[in-house]
C-alpha cells in the first residue's frame, strides 16, 4: 500500500483484452494466505513482455521497472487479469503500463485493481544485443 490517498475505484478496462489471465494457487502464497509480491511481479513482466514482443516483432529483455504499486493483497483463487499497454516506443525500447485486476468472491462478485506497474523492455537480436524497434 502506498502513502498516497486512495483514488475512487475505477472500473476494469472491459473494452480491452487482457494480455494474461491467471488464478494464483496455494503454492504461490505465503503463510498468511496472501500471494507473494514476487510472483505477481513475474506475471506482470510476462504480460508486459507479450505486448512489447509483439511491437518489437521478436525478442525483448526487461531493462527497467520504473514503478510497481501493490494496492491490495491478492488471494488464492482470485482471477487476475493483466491489462498491458505500450505508453512509449523509442528507438530500441518500449515502455509498458500494466494494470492487474482481481475478480474475487464469485458468490458476490467484486472486481478490484490490485497492482499497477510501468516496465521498460529493449528489443534484442539473436545475440542479445539491442536492435531498432520496427516502425509500422
SS (H, E, C) the chain: CCCCCCCCCCCCCCCCCCCEEECCCHHHECCCCEECHHHHHHHHHHHHHHHHHHHHCCCEEEEEEEEEEECCCCECCCEEEEEEEEEEECCCEEEEEEEEEEEECHHHCEEEEEEEEEEEEEEECCCCCECCCCCC
The grid coordinates of residue 9 equal 475505484
Q: Residue 131 domain-assigned?
A: no
Q: Residue 50 domain-assigned?
A: yes
pLDDT band at 39 (very low <50, low <70, confident <90, very high): very high
Q: Residue 90 domain-assigned?
A: yes
| CA atoms of 97 and 87, how far apart (whole Å) | 6
Total domain count for the chain?
1
Q: Residue 74 domain-assigned?
A: yes
| Residue 72, pLDDT score | 95
The more confident residue out of 9 and 125 is 125
Q: Residue 6 domain-assigned?
A: no
Q: Is pLDDT of 1 > 50? A: no
Residue 32: give the domain boundaries. Answer: 20-123
How confident is the model over 42-99, as pLDDT tens digits? 999 999 999 999 999 999 999 999 999 999 999 999 999 999 999 999 999 999 999 9
| Whether 78 contacts 102, CB under 8 Å | yes
The more confident residue out of 21 and 107 is 21
Mean pLDDT, all residues of the chain? 91
Q: Average pLDDT in the 104-109 region?
A: 84
Q: Residue 136 domain-assigned?
A: no
Q: Residue 45 domain-assigned?
A: yes
Q: What CATH number does residue 105 fall under?
A: 3.10.129.10
Q: Residue 133 domain-assigned?
A: no
The grid coordinates of residue 126 equal 539473436
| Residue 10, pLDDT score | 59
| Residue 2, pLDDT score | 46
Q: Average pLDDT in the 101-110 region?
A: 88
| Whether 75 contacts 89, CB under 8 Å | no
Amino acid at each position: 500500500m502506498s502513502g498516497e490517498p486512495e483514488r475512487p475505484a475505477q472500473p476494469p478496462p472491459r473494452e480491452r483484452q487482457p494480455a494474461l489471465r491467471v488464478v494464483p494457487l496455494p503454492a504461490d502464497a505465503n503463510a498468511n494466505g496472501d500471494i507473494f509480491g514476487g510472483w505477481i511481479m513475474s506475471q506482470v513482466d510476462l504480460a508486459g513482455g507479450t505486448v512489447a514482443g509483439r511491437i518489437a516483432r521478436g525478442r525483448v529483455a526487461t531493462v527497467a521497472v520504473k514503478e510497481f504499486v501493490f494496492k491490495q493483497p491478492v488471494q488464492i483463487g482470485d482471477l487476475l487479469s493483466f491489462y498491458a499497454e505500450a505508453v512509449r516506443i523509442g528507438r530500441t525500447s518500449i515502455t509498458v503500463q500494466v494494470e492487474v485486476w482481481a475478480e474475487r468472491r464469485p458468490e458476490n462478485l467484486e472486481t478490484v485493481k490490485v497492482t499497477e506497474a510501468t516496465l521498460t523492455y529493449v528489443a534484442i537480436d539473436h545475440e542479445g544485443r539491442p536492435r531498432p524497434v520496427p516502425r509500422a
